[in-house]
Amino acid sequence: MGVIRKSWRWFESRTGIARFIGPVARHRVPKTGKMGWFFVFGSATLVAFLMQGLTGISLATTYVNSTADAYPSLQYITDQAPLGSLVRGMHNYGATAMTVLVGVHMVRVFLMGSYKFPREVNWLSGVILLVLTLGMGFTGQLLRWDQNAIWSVVVGAEQAGRTPFIGDWLGHFILAGDTLSGETLSRFFSLHVFLLPGLIFVVVSFHLYLVLRNGISTVPESGQPVDPKTYHTWYRNLLKHRGEPFWPDAAYRDIIFGVLVIIAIIALALVLGPPELGRPPDPTIIKADPKPDWYFLWYFSILAMVPASSESFIILLFPFIIGLVLILLPFIANKGERTPLRRPWAVAIVLVAVVAIGVLIVVGQEEPWVPQFDATPLPQTVAGPNPSPSIQAGITLFNQKGCLYCHKIDGNGGIRGPDLSEVRSHLTIEQIKVRVLTGALNMPAYGTNLSAQELNELLAFLETRVGNKTPRGSQ
């Protein structure tokens, strides 16, 4: 025991580490009471980031950064390596936790007005961390290097390609060449494993420094607006008379919540397992439906639903505008009331954003805009018992010509186009004929794809799709 104490004293005399950490850990912070539980999300995000570091380093000991071998190495990690499935699952749900927590932390800071004077730069560094976290999510998804990943790289390059003047150059920069190649994976690997975590480490350090320098914000109270002229005096007096040491009076909450985050990540990894690997990466396999992980699913949905004419503007301007608003926020509203009770617009903005993102994620999962290539073909009985040969031929054509991919009939088929179960209740047969021949914005014109006989057979089938309503334009 004496040796240990002696060694510690020797170490301390050479480093001063305890004298350095002690005062920092015990610096005074405002008393927050039970509301202090709202202040744990920042440290929990850091815990999730540390978990990502740990699990990421361990995965990197086995993952092979090679376009030919990355996929089999991930199969090995998932299916054979001892605890590989668990660690890969932890890395996946750690990413989810980090993204969710950085969002929740940001919402808390926004709603409680904690970004106001003198913490404007805290907020700005947090915005950078949000961007870096999303960057980690995107690059991490690509390291799965399955069919979904390689096509996601292509989609990312095409999106970047919409940038005026340098789009083509930028698109090929993302691909690390003229096409997908041996260098593409290495580019994303270096970003995910070296550059982005390094930047996160630097910005987190700066963020923590600012938390120490500017102090933790107080629980907002009505009628206690931020006034930059008097804030520092007020805050200093508050710490003096109603403050408490961060360690352990406030830190215990961060530790408890941080441990709960770790438990949740491990539990999710154990129960749900790691994300499924898609088909092997092969650009010559045409069957692919690239879709981002949930962090970007809402944006994916927006791009799928906006009119094509405005798409390029939204691809480029939407992230730019969101970023600009987040950056300008602490400059245009850095004083005044902090409590959400006196800032209804702040509450409304958060509610609208959360609901919109949630709805768009659900829609993105369903992908109603995607033709349903695997729809179950309509049975001949869909037109009732004993349909005529002409109607039977029409049903076959409906299945074969791709109508079924986008139109539902009696529960079968895609939902990109309108449900045609009762199409004759809405349109006359002439109107249907015109639509089939000339198409529409999202429907090809079948004028050259159908013979006159095929058209008549298809119409004979659709003629049977009658509901209770009278078709428009009918006599």
Question: Residue 85 CB, nearest distance to another protein (Å)?
Answer: 24
The smaller minimum CB distance to another protein, of residues 3 and 286, is found at 286
- For position 212 contacting another protein by CB under 8 A, the verdict is yes
* Vertex 292 angle, CA 288 and 294, to 5°: 135
Cα distance between residue 323 and residue 327, in whole Å: 6
Chain residues 300-339 in contact with another protein, contact rule CB under 8 A: 303-304, 308, 311
Find the part of the chain contacting another protein (CB under 8 A) among 60-68, 268-276, 386-394, 467-475: 60-68
DSSP string, 375-420: PPPPPGGGG-SS--HHHHHHHHHHHHTTHHHH--BTTBS-SSS---
- Angle between helix 41-60 and 84-111 (nearest 10): 160
CB 425 within 8 A of CB 468: yes
DSSP label at 40?
A: -
For another protein, which residue of 150, 203, 360, 459 counts as binding (CB under 8 A)? Answer: 150
Query: Whose structure tokens read 């995965």?
Result: 59
CB 102 within 8 A of CB 129: yes
Question: Residue 445 CB, nearest distance to another protein (Å)?
Answer: 7
- For position 229 contacting another protein by CB under 8 A, the verdict is yes
Sign for the CA dihedral angle at 98, 102, 103, 105 comes to positive
> What sections of 63-83 are H helices per DSSP?
70-79
Question: Residue 117 CB, nearest distance to another protein (Å)?
Answer: 9
Question: Residue 291 CB, nearest distance to another protein (Å)?
Answer: 8
For another protein, which residue of 31, 54, 66, 75 counts as binding (CB under 8 A)? Answer: 66
Q: Is 439 left (phi over 0), alpha (psi -120 to 50) or beta?
A: left
The smaller minimum CB distance to another protein, of residues 85 and 186, is found at 186
Question: Residue 119 CB, nearest distance to another protein (Å)?
Answer: 12
- For position 175 contacting another protein by CB under 8 A, the verdict is yes
Interface map 236-255 toward another protein (x if CB under 8 A): x-------------------
CB 111 within 8 A of CB 123: no
Q: Determine how β-strand 243-245 pairs with β-strand 28-30.
A: antiparallel
Please report the beta strands in 204-298, taking only residues with DSSP state E, as ranges in sequence order: 243-245
Question: Residue 181 CB, nearest distance to another protein (Å)?
Answer: 5
- For position 453 contacting another protein by CB under 8 A, the verdict is no
Chain residues 253-292 in contact with another protein, contact rule CB under 8 A: 280-284, 286-290
- For position 440 contacting another protein by CB under 8 A, the verdict is yes
Question: Residue 178 CB, nearest distance to another protein (Å)?
Answer: 4
- For position 177 contacting another protein by CB under 8 A, the verdict is yes
- For position 350 contacting another protein by CB under 8 A, the verdict is no
- Say what the alpha-carbon torsion angle 358, 363, 366, 371 is, to the nearest 10 degrees: -160
The smaller minimum CB distance to another protein, of residues 154 and 265, is found at 154
Query: Whose structure tokens read 């959400």?
Result: 340
Question: Residue 303 CB, nearest distance to another protein (Å)?
Answer: 8
- For position 214 contacting another protein by CB under 8 A, the verdict is yes
- For position 172 contacting another protein by CB under 8 A, the verdict is yes
Find the part of the chain contacting another protein (CB under 8 A) among 44-52, 132-140, 262-270, 366-374: 366-374
Question: Residue 453 CB, nearest distance to another protein (Å)?
Answer: 16
